[in-house]
A = this chain, B = another copy of it.
Amino acid sequence: MAERTEISTYGEFGLIRHLTRNIEFQNASSILGVGDDAAVIDHLGRQTVITTDLLIEGVHFDLMYTPLKHLGYKSVVVNLSDVYAMNATPTQITLSIGISNRFSVEALEEFYEGVYAACDRYGVDLIGGDTSSSQKGFIISVTAIGEIQPDKVVKRSGAQKGDLLCCSGDLGAAYLGLVFLEREKKIYLENPNIQPDLEGEDYVIRRLLKPEARKDIIEFFEQQNILPTSMMDISDGLSSEILHICSQSGVSAVIHEDKLPISEASRLAAYKFELDPTALALSGGEDYELLFTLKQDDYEKITLNEQISVIGYITDASLKPMIVTKGGNKHEITAQGWNAFKTT
């Protein structure tokens, strides 16, 4: 970066004013934003959905290979994904950051560029937050607010025996992006003169660094008049999320290996790293796809949408959650689905 403006030039209040100076509200419900003790929202008869996430440098992201703009974008998107997972429409976010003085104002502007890009794309307003110093590392806390008609809320607990188990998009790519970037980091640290070889890995890298939330799926449900019986977003891996839905709904599930959506790019990358694409789909994590259950009657409607895969169905709680392999074998799905799957 050519310029470097110290954060101290602005002071706490000046900094937040500077970073938020161009905000224009997109939602009628955003009544009062940054600059007072609290923001004000009017939900005009709808219910409010609220979710929050804490992202910590060194735990959730590595700035060695994460561009700040992408990080800003992703910090917003992972929270919006939780709002969509309730079948709701996100409308506002608050953003708090803790920063050490190793960051310049220009670096923060880059981060906020990503935040605003996500706000624009998803139609949400940044309405408040907090800026503080940190002794070490970059700390990000986002709270996302959304709205929903009271009778449209979809929880994790509504799945019933016989329901179809579905997911959006494809699985396992983000984890491959992580494996790839960690390898490049290691190579770079050993020899900084070697140029990174990103050939052919753009898809898996993008899935890790700049994920999208499935706004399109929620809009599709609305258009098709579909109300899933249960739903959650896939952030920790498919196996783990299936177990959440099963335990919260008091049911069990069967999925089929050959139905798991895995992109061609992921298969190629997995092959290169000698990893099992199925294992990655089951427990890769950070895919931010939606996992949901539907009444069988809705089957016809979803065949229209190539972004939705039926991967299995809901069974009785007396059975164990199982995956049927391509070879026809059955394995129990466990929270560490990956390991369990590999060792049986």
Contact surface of A with B, Cβ cutoff 8 Å: 13, 31-32, 35-43, 45, 47-54, 56-60, 82-83, 85-86, 88, 92, 94, 96-98, 127-130, 132-137, 139, 141, 143-146, 148, 150, 153, 155-157, 231-233, 244, 248
Residue contacts A-B, CB under 8 angstroms, 30 given: A32-B155, A36-B86, A37-B231, A37-B233, A38-B50, A38-B85, A38-B88, A38-B144, A39-B50, A40-B49, A40-B50, A41-B50, A42-B47, A48-B48, A50-B128, A50-B143, A51-B128, A52-B96, A52-B129, A52-B143, A53-B130, A54-B97, A54-B98, A54-B130, A54-B132, A56-B133, A56-B134, A59-B98, A59-B132, A139-B139
CB-based contact A59/B156 at 8 Å: no
CB-based contact A54/B96 at 8 Å: yes
A170 shortest CB reach to chain B, Å: 20
Q: What's the Cα separation between A92 and B41 when bound, in Å?
A: 15
A231 surroundings in chain B (CB, below 8 A): 37
Q: What's the Cα separation between A315 and B259 when bound, in Å?
A: 72
A66 shortest CB reach to chain B, Å: 16
CB-based contact B56/A153 at 8 Å: no
Copies in the complex: 2
CB-based contact A40/B86 at 8 Å: yes
CB-based contact B35/A130 at 8 Å: no
A135 shortest CB reach to chain B, Å: 4
A53 shortest CB reach to chain B, Å: 5
Instruction: List 11 extra interface pairs beyond A38-B51, A40-B50, A59-B135, CB under 8 A.
Output: A13-B244, A37-B231, A38-B49, A38-B83, A38-B88, A39-B49, A41-B47, A51-B94, A59-B98, A59-B132, A141-B141
Q: What's the Cα separation between A156 and B248 when bound, in Å?
A: 45
Of the candidates B40, B96, B150, B157, the one whose C-beta lies within 8 Å of that of A141 is B96
A37 surroundings in chain B (CB, below 8 A): 51, 82-83, 85-86, 156, 231-233
A78 shortest CB reach to chain B, Å: 10
Q: What's the Cα separation between A32 and B50 when bound, in Å?
A: 10
Residue of B nearest to A141 (CB): B141
Contacts A58-B135, A98-B139, A155-B36; A52 near B130 (Cβ below 8 A): yes
A88 surroundings in chain B (CB, below 8 A): 38
Q: What's the Cα separation between A139 and B86 when bound, in Å?
A: 27
Q: What's the Cα separation between A231 and B37 when bound, in Å?
A: 9
A57 surroundings in chain B (CB, below 8 A): 135
A150 surroundings in chain B (CB, below 8 A): 42
A264 shortest CB reach to chain B, Å: 30
Q: What's the Cα separation between A336 and B214 when bound, in Å?
A: 48
CB-based contact B38/A43 at 8 Å: no
A96 surroundings in chain B (CB, below 8 A): 52-54, 141
A139 surroundings in chain B (CB, below 8 A): 54, 56, 98, 139
Residue of A49, A92, A136 with most partner-chain B CB within 10 A: A49
Residue of B nearest to A133 (CB): B59
Residue of B nearest to A51 (CB): B38
Q: What's the Cα separation between A31 and B56 when bound, in Å?
A: 30
CB-based contact A36/B156 at 8 Å: yes
Q: What's the Cα separation between A148 and B39 when bound, in Å?
A: 12
Of the candidates B94, B136, B146, B155, the one whose C-beta lies within 8 Å of that of A52 is B94
